[in-house]
Structure 1
Amino acid sequence: ATVGWRASEHWHLKVQLDAHSSAWNSPREAIGEPSAQLVVGASGRLGKAWVIDLAFSEDIVVERSPDIVFQLGLRWQRPQ
């Protein structure tokens, strides 16, 4: 589930919750137990055509996914 908010004319804030059941029937917690991650990010306009995406992900059910992940994206969109 994702929730977004337009913080200003050029910036959008986002919060997302990802969760899934175990990947395999395994005694190892990392793949044999459910997992949940919280992702917090923002997208911002850099001029008329460029958009930057920033985010980080934290495992809220510990020992089931990477502890913290940082994401950076830069994309070009055709001006309208």
Structure 2
Amino acid sequence: MIFFTDLTEYEIPSIPLWVLAWLFLVIGIISLLILLVYTRYGRDFSLKLSILTIVLSSVLLGFSIHFFLLNLSVY
């Protein structure tokens, strides 16, 4: 396949990248949930908090997807 390396070689995934990918994924999903709960039940609209959580969650989810793809040898 074009996305994977040669299957005759056995490659072990990088443990620090794997841990960071899961950590960033969990924190990114939590920040998205905070944004959803805040916009649904928040008393007043705060543009700064909304922008902060959107940027934080998108950066963390982007890095987590990138780290997962690096571990799977999909660049």
Q: TM-score scaled by structure 2?
A: 0.25
* Structure having the larger proportion of residues in strand: 1
Higher relative contact order (CA 8 A, sep 6+): 2
Pick the structure with more helix per residue. 2
**Could you state the TM-score of these two structures normalised by the residue count of structure 1?**
0.24
